[in-house]
Amino acid sequence: MGNTAQSKIAEQKNKALPQLLPANSRDSRLTQLLKPYLPQKEIKIIWNAYEYSLDAHKGQKRRSGEDYIIHPVSVACIAAHLHLDSPSIQAALLHDVVEDTSSTLIEIESKFGSQVASIVGGLSKLDKIHFDDASQAQAENFRKMLLAMSQDVRVILIKLADRLHNMETLEHLSPKKRIRISQETLDIYSPIANRLGLNNIHQELEDLCFKYIHPLRYKTIIKAIKATRGNRKEVVEKSLTEIKDKLGFFKVNADVFGREKNPSSIHKKMVEKHSSFSEINDIYAFRIIVKNLNDCYLALGALHSLYKPIPGKFKDYIAIPKANGYQSLHTTLFGPFGMPLEIQIRTELMHNLAEAGVASHWLYKTKDAHVTELQQQTNQWLKRLLEIQTEGSDSLEFLEHLKVDLFPDEVYVFSPKGTIFNLPKGSTTIDYAYAVHSDVGNSTVAAKINQELVPLRTEIKTGDHIEVVTASPAKPNPAWLNFVITGKARSQIRSFLKTAESNDLVILGYSMLNNALKAFHIDPDNIKKKHWQKLIQDYHMSSKDELLIEIALGKKVNVMVAHQLTAIMDGVKKTINQSKFLDVITIKGAEDMAIKLATCCHPIPGDPILGFINKDRGLIIHTHDCPVIRKFKLDHDRWVDVEWEPDPNRLFNVNLNILVINEKGMLGRIASVIAASNSNIDNVSLEQPDGSTFANLNFVVQVKNRIHLAELIRNLRKIKKINRINRVKSLT
């Protein structure tokens, strides 16, 4: 590459992030970064924060042996490069004083104001609270930081600056810690930087993570890139000259920059394509900065007339910006000697926004509509974080939702009214429904893509027109959790199911407790509020419902709870109205959150049954002769008597194995008899023929009860070509 192109690349690299030098004097790098955009009086306040931080961290050293103050000043330099405001720079200088010194937030607020204290508080870890394990503590730290960010995005901007400097000085830690911190950065911080439009920080973090997670691969690719510069010098120089000449011919005033792709992005492409470095041709890309929007498309036309575009490699992020506000035209061309050239075309404002992202709120004091739209999009994303938080208090679950929400690839779809929704790649119609509104998602029963009905698990694609059909009595299906991918959809579904499950378990627990009370001759109507309060207190529960749920899940034995009530109610007249009790729990046949029909024996009405309390799944119904129950026969406290409700209003699946003479038309004859017996065929399969005269047919049929099944089998036996019929209770 020629000196001009080479210097352009170096210039771009150096402009990306400041050289992080320590601030040992007022003439430091930090001062140089602050002077162009902050008034002197605010810089003076910032230096008061510096003096405070210097004094607080006095005597502290980093792992490298350097004075600790170098770290907060370096973080402040990165924040200053983003042109963050004075409270942000102060918070950057003070971000570790509460965590690592004797200083308190109250003291910070009294000296530097509530804004600074709020940001520092959002950045401080929860070291004084005990957690069950390290992963839970880390998840809680992330949640606290991100919820603080939802109130003030400056929290995460400074946190990203903090993480960037820590990553740049990671070599002083042990290899194990380097990998752990790098993986955490790759999973959380780098995607957040990308989501907020901080392109330079995102790329720097990606490269640093790659360097420490795969050190040998990183060194090999860096070495190969340096060697390739000489080999491809002629091609890059020729491309640069021809692009400039063609833009000049079309009278497009533009700056053209050649740039090398990041080592991490080259490695990703090698992994995706299963290619070696020598097979990756497009390690160079060109960025074209023009004056206005019209010139973007004019430049695109000029380049397409110069080199042939590669089909399917054009993206218009100007017409449909990315979720983080990014705008640009992307195209890939067949360059000189057949080498692919990746081109990005954008205006200067688009370029600045691509580099500054959400920080443009401070960087650009402008009425520009796109800046305002970017802020609104960011606020919507932060609002979604709050929605996820309020509907699920588990920190690890919140972190899982966040990781999903940071999925880098996106699709853009249209509502029936033409509104554009951006969702992670791989989203389904259910994800879209929850993106529209939580109530829409909860009541979805069907979906249409481009006016055609599709299954709810169908993945959506960019450009799809989507319409969801809702019904008021509908509710989320637990199976949706197997295919939805957005954090909002998962949290809403889980929240609804938890509420529904709790209601079912309360009813089941109450029924089980009543059956146990019968043995102690206690009438439930005689249990007063004071008795319940004493019982709840004895078991250290927060409510009656919580205790009943514990009984339903088998965590508390119903007989023991009933015995405890006898002690509490000692002196209360123990009378019993036999009509108010059931000897057994009645099973309606319809499964719910608390009652499940065992898949090992597939019970149907008429089968003798037992109920087994599973602490995680509720009450599981087995047949008396189920081989599985033998393992738990001695666990008497977890078995309860159950019976079928008369005439349950539903059909049950039964597996039938039918051995028939293998001749044409047999399947049709069997299906006809099943239909005539008022039964449905849910599934049918044929075992691989072994060359004999017989064939094994496996049917899943739907019947009302055991009597209905017996009638169906009698009718099937009338077919002379059937040799044997067996009901298969276990498929394992």
* 100 belongs to the catalytic site: yes
Is residue 21 exposed (0-12), middle (13-18) or buried (19+ Cβ within 10 Å)? middle
What is the torsional sign of CA 293, 294, 300, 302? negative
Burial 377-406 (b: 16+ CB within 10 A, else e): bbeebbebbebbbebbeebbbbbbbbebbb
Phi, psi of 309 (to 5 degrees): -75, 145
17: DSSP letter = S
Residues 320 and 272: their CA atoms lie apart, in Å, by 26
The two three-digit tokens of residue 661, written as one number: 């003479």
Catalytic residue among 85, 100, 152, 538: 100
Nearest to 240 by CA among 16, 4, 18, 402: 4
Cα distance from N-terminal residue to C-terminal residue, the chain:
66
Residues 286 and 264: their CA atoms lie apart, in Å, by 18
Q: What residues have CB less than 8 Å from 70, skipping those under 6 apart?
A: 22, 62
The two three-digit tokens of residue 540, written as one number: 């250290």
Tell me the three state secondary structure of residue 465: strand
Phi, psi of 315 (to 5 degrees): -130, 130
The two three-digit tokens of residue 253, written as one number: 């005033």
Residues 597 and 621: beta-carbon distance below 8 Å = yes
Phi, psi of 427 (to 5 degrees): -65, 155
Residues 506 and 594: their CA atoms lie apart, in Å, by 9
In what helix (H) or strand (E) does residue 558 lie, and over which residues does it extend?
A: helix 558-568
Catalytic residue among 99, 373, 635, 687: 99
Residues 300 and 296: their CA atoms lie apart, in Å, by 6
Q: CA of 224: how far to CAs of 45, 229, 270, in Å?
A: 48, 9, 13
Phi, psi of 585 (to 5 degrees): -80, 130
Residues 486 and 104: their CA atoms lie apart, in Å, by 38
User: Which residue type, as a one-letter code, is found at position 545?
Assistant: D
Q: How many CB atoms lie within 10 A of CB 551?
A: 25
Residues 436 and 458: their CA atoms lie apart, in Å, by 17
Q: What stretches of 253-368 show up as alpha helix (H) in DSSP?
A: 263-273, 293-306, 348-356, 360-363
Residues 213 and 184: their CA atoms lie apart, in Å, by 11
Please give the full DSSP string across 231-283, using - where no structure is assigned.
HTHHHHHHHHHHHHHHHHHTT--EEEEEEEPPHHHHHHHHHHHT--GGG----
Q: CA of 461: how far to CAs of 235, 326, 411, 412, 480, in Å?
A: 37, 20, 6, 7, 19
Residues 260 and 284: beta-carbon distance below 8 Å = yes
* 459 belongs to the catalytic site: no
Active site residues: 99-100
